[in-house]
Amino acid sequence: MSKGAAEANQPSPLNRRVLLVGLAVVAPLVAVLFMNLGRNPHAIGSPLVGRAAPDFALRPMGGGEPVTLASLRGRPAVLNFWATWCVPCFEEHPLLVRAARSLGDRVQFVGVIYEDSEEQVRGFLARQGEAYPSLVDPGSRAAIAYGIFGVPETYFLDAEGRIAAKHVGPLDAASLAAKLRLVGLQP
């Protein structure tokens, strides 16, 4: 009995080899899964952060001179890509309007309309409030240049037109305040 028990506790050479090969195959897989499963595959870091913002010249809705990157220089800017069909955009809209009103001239908020009709946007802004220009982006050229994956996505530009931060998804008060601090604003 004691001999049998000792044998049972001692893995045979074959079993040990199977175990080692199995571990060699499975351990890296488990490690990769463990490191990446908690990550949102769509939250890919933007290569633009820390670099000069891509240039653009877009017509504001309702007419007027095109808004360009150069025209935003001199103070921080918040570039919010959004659409009326996007529920998180609807949720963050009041916060952006409030922030734009309370910060006034210290920062320029700009909305860039993503795959939406001007008519829809006009109705939305009439109902939900409007505090800053919304720009029309034909062919999504600006959205592509800014590497937009979906809406809402928001870029924070410093006074020199450099991208200081990108926020993917709806902003809340805390994340908006944190990102505004990155461009030198104390909200």
Partner 1 sequence: MTPPLGPLRRAAGLALAAVFLVAAHAPAQEPAGPADPSRVVGPPRGHAPTAEALDARTDEVAGLLRCPVCQGLSVADSPATMAVNMKAQVKELLAEGYDEDQILAYFERSYGEFVRLQPPLRGVNWLVWLAPLAALAFGAWAVKRALGARRASGTEPASPPPGPDTLPEDPKLARYVLRVRELAYGWGGGRSPASTD
Taking CB under 8 A as the criterion, the residue among 131, 140, 159, 181 binding partner 1 is 140
Is the previous residue joined to 152 through a cis bond, with omega within 30 degrees of 0? Answer: yes
Site residues for partner 1, 147-166, by CB under 8 A, read 147-150, 161
Query: Of 143 and 171, which CB lies nearer to partner 1 in the complex structure?
Result: 143
In whole angstroms, the minimum distance from the beta carbon of 92 to partner 1 comes to: 19
Query: Of 51 and 101, which CB lies nearer to partner 1 in the complex structure?
Result: 51
In the stretch 15-54, what mask flags binding to partner 1 with x, by CB under 8 A? x----------------------------xxxxx--xxxx
> How far is it, in rounded angstroms, from Cα 144 to Cα 139?
9
In whole angstroms, the minimum distance from the beta carbon of 115 to partner 1 comes to: 5
Q: For residue 156, list its beta bridge partners.
A: 78, 165
* Contact status: 126 vs partner 1 (CB under 8 A): no
Angle formed by the axes of helices 87-103 and 173-182, nearest 10°: 50
Cβ neighbours of residue 30 closer than 8 Å, sequence gap 6 or more: none
Mind giving me the DSSP string for 18-72? HHHHHHHHHHHHHHHHHHHTTS-TT-PPPTTTTSBPPP-EEEETTS-SPEEHHHH
* Contact status: 144 vs partner 1 (CB under 8 A): yes
Residues that bind partner 1 (CB under 8 A): 7-8, 12, 14-15, 44-48, 51-57, 69, 115, 139-150, 161
